[in-house]
Structure 1
Amino acid sequence: MSFDHREPGTDPAAWTAFLDDRRAEPVDLDDIGTVVVVAPHPDDETLGAGGLIASAAARGIPVQVLLLTRGEHSHPDSPTTTPDELAAVRDDEFTAALRVLAPGAGSTSLGIPDGATREHRSEVAAALERAVDTAVGPTLVVAPWSGDGHRDHRIAGEVAEELAARRADASLLAYPIWTWHWDDPAASAAPWDAARAFTLTEDALARKRAALESYPSQTTPLSPAVGDEAIVDGRHAAHHLRTTEWFLVPAAATSRSRESFDAHYERKPEGWDFEGSWYERRKRAVTLASLPRARYRSALELGCATGVLTAALTERADAVLGTDISAAPLERAARRAPGARFAQAALPEEWPVGRWDLVVMSEVGYYLSPADLDATIDRVLGSLDDDGVLVACHWRHPDDEAVSGGDAVDARLTARWPRPALVRHIEEDFVLTVLPGAAVPSVARAERLVR
């Protein structure tokens, strides 16, 4: 999703008519021990959840705000204000706004570069985990909707969804920010059937309005010059200053279904352009070059598709088993790699019997739900020989068919693996990590080049 905040965007009146027809379950704070709010930039907490923050604080519920960036790139074309100057201004504005909303609220500022949450995803996840660990439960996590259209918002939302999916002591409400601007209420992309509504008291709305006024760097022009325009002008602010705050409840993630893969291969029998695409050929070469040994006893490839990588693995392993959730690509894989065995299997339940000293997970992990990914990691750890390795390689760009992203999968793998990565290769398009078993030395040590 791309949008330009300088454009008028969707008329707030169109959303008013849409919202007036919604019947949403109300947000209930009765059993909440702590509210943890994730704000990618200063002012997101106020725009998305300012009324809820003020209301929770008024009821004596502790509030913690996790601020990810300082928002220094809100005016990238400003001729009058540098990013460092803007960061200092927005720091002060955030402090003032939070004091208005909830004078006793706590806050943590990570100081991640504005626009770089993807590159610091593990830091965001660790900070949110710490915030929930130290909170008085049950904890309500309030974070941006992952479909909001801004990259920092997407990463923050995905991290919050992953945490809520695996923790029984945390629930999640997702707030839209830029969705109001680019989305069309007549054919909305947001999951409004799972919406929650929080009605604001007069005091809560007044505090939210005053808190937003604490951000003049965003609500008024920095100067009359081009590039210094207001980010949240009156039209934008109208979306957020309603008497009701609206939140979305992301559905519990489920792994991509066998039926969806069957349909994909019916449309495209070769699946993806594994042999013709230079991107695929190069990525395959990088994957094979990352293997720390020249030869393996028994290799398992998870999600082998049509067997292009499988065929290459047969040149590096005595025995190779390729698995895929769909039967159709396995017929092509068997013809392409006659030296390998193949089995149809859905991860993690249908796990093949055997021990492996090489497991390859290429472009698979982000099709699994967080729970299924964790279970798959456990399966790998339980069947990997001490001298074996897991090689994981994943696309880093958005995929409409994926449950999560490549960075999320890589972060979860490295967080749960008992040893540090042996190889870690990151570029704009994909991330590749080699995770070693208990008895895997470096290549130089294995070759006795160092002792």
Structure 2
Amino acid sequence: MAPLDLPDGVSHLVVLAAHPDDESLGVGGLLARLARRGTPVTVVVATDGEASHPDSPTLTPARLAALRRRELVDAVDVVAPGAVVLFLGLPDGGLRERGGALHRRLCAVLTAVTEDEPGHRERGSVVLCAPWRGDGHRDHRVAGEVAAAVAGEQGARLLEYPIWWWHWGDPSDRTATEDMRALMLTPQERAAKRLALAAHRSQVEPLSPDPRDAATVGPEMLRHADRDIEVFVEAACPSPAQPAPSPAAGPAPGSGHGPGAGSASSESLPAGFFDAFYRGRSDPWGFETRWYEERKRAVTLASLPRQRFRAGLEIGCSTGVLTAELATRCDRVVGVDVAADALAAARERLGDDIELLRLQTPAEWPEGDFDLVVLSEVGYYYGASDLETAISRAVGSLTADGVLVACHWRHPVPEYPLRGDDVHAALAARAELVRLVHHLEEDFVLEVFVRPPARSVAAQAGLA
């Protein structure tokens, strides 16, 4: 990579962290360097990271949030003594819904640090660091999008730092790496960064021996952060005259509004995310071992309104566990996934009787008509625009008597562009579909849609 150009004329460094510890993982060395130069530093923390241990038997989310705030202050004191720290207290995993609030607060910070009583500071002399828009983590992406918009409006220089990208990124992908720059760290800067990371004890050490309290920042991530370089992405910011779509706050999930509300700029998870997720893991979701998954499959199969189907299409077939059971109800089944390792496992499970295709939906889509289309735990991987395209292509694949089944996890997952409720709200909004089955639990929602008019199973059998 080309070296990062970091001139002496930086008048203020503002670091935006989506969660406490992002600032140490991504920019601890840069913080140490500019603080040593005497550059004023402000660290803005969007969320308190209270969702890092959602099932912890040791700490409630409120206690964990308070602990992580104290840890961040200690960490920043190591690398940038005297820095101003601002906690915004936005919900962990919910930055997309609070994008408007984040934009307003970050604008206020940049306005304050760029104001100069005698005159006007040179454009670009304020450096804003934020999580990279292409990081593959929802909160990070939204934080990066907001930072890019604010930097464009305020004339700040934007440097983005990847964190999750290192888990799934392909360094040979020039479209991702051409804007990356390397900051070589001195031994003193590395040592300061190491101490800052150690201050985040709730993340780098277990909270207790209970597996639910395991460290969230493991040895592999710590080894990466301990390298002698930090990597930044310096790409164009939106023009103030033509701002990027605002990730302003949208309606709550399940409110009946489509997922595009307030999230038009969201992007689908890249194919590399799934390749990395499946690599070396034969059953990453626990399809074969978890009673939860076994029961959910049983509910899905029981919800099918016909005993037999001529042709079934499963988008996101993964390792083929549900595909195998769909095959018992269909004369022909086509399974589609983007991850090569997942399809290899599915092929080993299903043999050659099931057609398996490696496609990156919705841009790529299988040909043919199907009287059963299944979207199970796949819709929330799409960005808002791609989801609408996927639904359109799924409906276009349905025969006149076709059935579309959708089933999705309802709890928020920070890495995913959408929630399960967003996906089902988008399906319910389509005029071409009528809901025949609605099964709602705290954990998942399962719905069956058909073309209008809908007739119940009893009506089809002449019982009602």
TM-score by length of 2: 0.50
- Cα 1:150–1:251 shift into 2, 3 Å: same
Matching residue of 2:41: 63
Instruction: Confirm whether residue 121 of structure 1 aligns to residue 99 of structure 2.
Output: yes
Aligned partners of 1:98, 1:52: CA distance in 2, in Å? 12
Matching residue of 1:298: none
Instruction: Confirm whether residue 197 of structure 1 aligns to residue 182 of structure 2.
Output: yes
User: Which one is further off, 135-144 or 47-56?
Assistant: 135-144
Kept in 2, the 8 Å contact 1:161–1:250? The answer is no
Kept in 2, the 8 Å contact 1:145–1:176? The answer is yes
Spell out, residue by residue over 1:257-291, the C-alpha distance to the aligned partner (whole angstroms, 9 max, x if none).
xxxxxxxxxxxxxxxxxxxxxxxx997xx9xxxxx
Q: CA deviation at 1:195?
A: 1.2
Q: Aligned with 1:196: secondary structure?
A: strand
Aligned partners of 1:177, 1:202: CA distance in 2, in Å? 21
Matching residue of 2:141: 154
Matching residue of 2:377: none
Kept in 1, the 8 Å contact 2:171–2:177? The answer is no
Matching residue of 1:378: none
Matching residue of 1:176: 162
Q: What amino acid is aligned across from residue 150 of structure 1 in structure 2?
A: H
Q: CA deviation at 1:25?
A: 3.2
Kept in 2, the 8 Å contact 1:29–1:56? The answer is no
Kept in 1, the 8 Å contact 2:75–2:196? The answer is yes
Q: What amino acid is aligned across from residue 178 of structure 1 in structure 2?
A: W
Aligned residues: 247
Matching residue of 1:221: 206
Matches within 5 A, 1:45-444: 45-136=23-114, 137=121, 138-168=125-155, 170-187=156-173, 191-253=176-238, 397-399=383-385, 428=422
Q: CA deviation at 1:63?
A: 0.5
Kept in 1, the 8 Å contact 2:17–2:23? The answer is yes
Q: CA deviation at 1:120?
A: 1.2
Aligned partners of 2:238, 2:40: CA distance in 1, in Å? 29
Q: CA deviation at 1:216?
A: 1.1
Any runs of at least 4 consecutive aligned residues in structure 1 with deviations exceeding 3 A, and if so which?
A: 251-254, 396-402, 427-431
Matching residue of 1:27: 5
Q: What amino acid is aligned across from residue 223 of structure 1 in structure 2?
A: S
Aligned partners of 2:10, 2:96: CA distance in 1, in Å? 30
| Unmatched segments (≥5 aa) in structure 2 | 115-120, 240-255, 262-381, 389-420, 427-464
Identity %: 43
Q: Aligned with 2:63: secondary structure?
A: helix
Q: What amino acid is aligned across from residue 162 of structure 1 in structure 2?
A: A
Kept in 2, the 8 Å contact 1:27–1:197? The answer is no
Q: CA deviation at 1:397?
A: 4.1
- Cα 1:84–1:217 shift into 2, 3 Å: same
Q: What amino acid is aligned across from residue 138 of structure 2 in structure 1?
A: R
Spell out, residue by residue over 1:41-89, the C-alpha distance to the aligned partner (whole angstroms, 9 max, x if none).
1000010101101111100100000001110110112222211121111
Aligned partners of 2:384, 2:3: CA distance in 1, in Å? 31
Q: CA deviation at 1:187?
A: 4.0
Q: CA deviation at 1:165?
A: 2.5
Q: Aligned with 2:16: secondary structure?
A: strand
- Cα 1:37–1:115 shift into 2, 3 Å: same
Q: What amino acid is aligned across from residue 145 of structure 2 in structure 1?
A: E
Aligned partners of 2:34, 2:159: CA distance in 1, in Å? 14
Spell out, residue by residue over 1:392-448, the C-alpha distance to the aligned partner (whole angstroms, 9 max, x if none).
xxxx9444799xxxxxxxxxxxxxxxxxxxxxxxx94799xxxxxxxxxxxxxxxxx
Spell out, residue by residue over 1:29-51, the C-alpha distance to the aligned partner (whole angstroms, 9 max, x if none).
42211000000110000101011
| Unmatched segments (≥5 aa) in structure 1 | 1-21, 255-280, 287-395, 403-426, 432-451
Aligned partners of 1:83, 1:239: CA distance in 2, in Å? 28
Aligned partners of 1:191, 1:250: CA distance in 2, in Å? 11
Aligned partners of 2:187, 2:386: CA distance in 1, in Å? 40
> Over aligned residue pairs, what C-alpha RMSD do you find?
2.9
Q: Aligned with 2:212: secondary structure?
A: coil
Aligned partners of 2:176, 2:33: CA distance in 1, in Å? 25
Kept in 2, the 8 Å contact 1:68–1:112? The answer is yes
Aligned partners of 1:282, 1:145: CA distance in 2, in Å? 28
